[in-house]
Amino acid sequence: MIFTINPRNLTFANLRKIYRNETRVSLHDAAWAKIKSSRDVVDNIIEQGKTVYGINTGFGLLAQTSIPGDQLALLQTNLVLSHSAGVGEPLPDDVVRLIYVLKISSLAQGHSGIRQSTIERFIAFVNAGLIAEIPEKGSVGASGDLAPLAHMTAALMGEGYVRLGGERLPAREALDKVGLAPVELSSKEGLAFLNGTQVSTALAIKGLFQAEDIFSAAVAAGSMSIDALMGSVAPFDKRIHIARGQPGQIAVAPKYLEQLEGSNILTAHEDCDKVQDPYSLRCQPQVMGACLDIIINSARTLLIEANAVTDNPLIFTDNGDVISGGNFHAEPVAFAADQLAMAICEIASISERRLSIMVDPKMSDLPAFLVENSGVNSGFMIAQVSAAALVSENKTMAHPSSVDSIPTSANQEDHVSMATYGARRLTDMCFNSATVIGIELLAAAQGIDFRAPLKTSPLLASAHAKIRNHITHYDKDRFFAPDIEKITSMVLAGDFSENIIDILPTGSSS
């Protein structure tokens, strides 16, 4: 895949493809003139002997220290090496690819003062298939993602480690293998690379994409559970949702009716005497609609941030101003990540409750724990326990990270966003929720099997067939973990998104 980065015009469709696929990149032709103009401002400042923060001064608490011209390149090198203090496991390839594209887009907007040659070397690095080893921990989300972006930049300079074709190599050795020389940074460039919210934004965008896939699978699972449990479709009547007026609720309620349309199971109990279903069945539009609203709002924030310039100071070429501000503060990303965390948690929470109903013969009118000859067979007993454990774990992780702050850099950077952790924990939460929803899908498919010879709807039959193509009916106890692992991977791959994507903000699972 070759993707042309058009700064300020990134879309979620673009970013999803980059997230899913190995990518070669180029830069839109119009960007080069802006890059040159902003670099001219930097060069003029140095030639005129002016003192400007970020160009020829120290950083943070050392911002008042003027740096001689012959030490400006060393200043940038030292900045990158000293800030490469991250710890923990390396970020995965999909996140690093997003970071690359977001950073190139930001640097190419003509506010960063970076040289054309440096951007060209960065693009060559990306296109050589080099994945910088970026430790996942060590950023507080202001002044940007300093430590992780330092590790990325260090790899360009031949320091640290990279992955090339899945092999971990010293960065300098990998550069030699692909025929690239280490980048030598000039004035302002190290700071332009290190300041910015690209790591927290990339992590949050991955969380957004996974949240959408989870949301879609949960609508499919919830619909299938309604049929397996012979639930009512009356609560999905559009008049109920229009009367309330919440947009997410209005958008998602018809999806359940579409999923269930044509079900023989549904028509077989139209005249039953059941008055109401439990909330986890009946209130799906209200809960999932609220989650959809949160996902849409978070997506709006994250798309703006993906197209933003977030380093510091910023250069304005119309008059040569260089202004020190705070666009590196990732509070918008932190809030978006915290909102997504709430939605991800709730989607799994209500899913687990439907699962609990299905394994309980007193409530489901299905075999105990969804298996024949229960007693000898335990069926879905402990699968439901695992789901409950994951839901509980998510509740703890859903605590907002943005309400925390800790002073850094000798109190110069005295309020921070904690966006990077807030966004990073979404991946773990999404795995937990995808597993819970996957187990519900297995249980609902089992329930549909037990309703034979009655047949479910065409759309749910298609979802059921997807499951059964990989995971057979649970007729007796077997080693269960591979089934759960497979269905979880299907959820995270977007395999159940087909009929839901039109109401989601990024609009695609491909």
Three-state SS for 22?
coil
Residue 179's nearest CA partner among 127, 119, 118 is 127
Give 183's DSSP letter: P
Backbone CA torsion sign across 198, 204, 207, 211: negative
- Start-to-end CA distance of the chain, whole Å, equals 13
CB 204 within 8 A of CB 402: no
Angle of helix 481-492 versus helix 198-228 axis, rounded to 10 = 120
Three-state SS for 162?
strand
Measured distance CA(87)–CA(82) in Å, rounded? 14
Give 197's DSSP letter: S
- Long-range CB contacts (within 8 A, 24+) of 89-95: 89/135, 89/136, 90/133, 90/134, 90/135, 90/136, 90/163, 91/134, 91/135, 91/136, 91/148, 91/199, 91/203, 93/22, 93/131, 93/163, 94/19, 94/20, 94/206, 95/199, 95/202, 95/203, 95/206
Cα 35 from chain centre: 29
| Residues 6 or more apart in contact with residue 318 via CB below 8 angstroms | none
Measured distance CA(426)–CA(193) in Å, rounded? 25
Residue with tokens 């002016």: 50
Measured distance CA(368)–CA(363) in Å, rounded? 10
Q: Of 53, 100, 256, 421, which is the active-site residue? A: 53
256 catalytic residue (yes or no):
no
The continuous run of DSSP H or E covering 323 comes out as strand 321-323
Angle of helix 198-228 versus helix 93-107 axis, rounded to 10 = 130
CB 134 within 8 A of CB 151: yes
Find residue 316's DSSP bridge partners. 321
User: Could you tell me the two tokens for 362?
Assistant: 């007193």
Measured distance CA(435)–CA(438) in Å, rounded? 5
Find residue 3's DSSP bridge partners. 25
Q: What angle do CA 448, 449, 452 make, to 5 degrees?
A: 95
**Catalytic residue positions, numbered:** 53
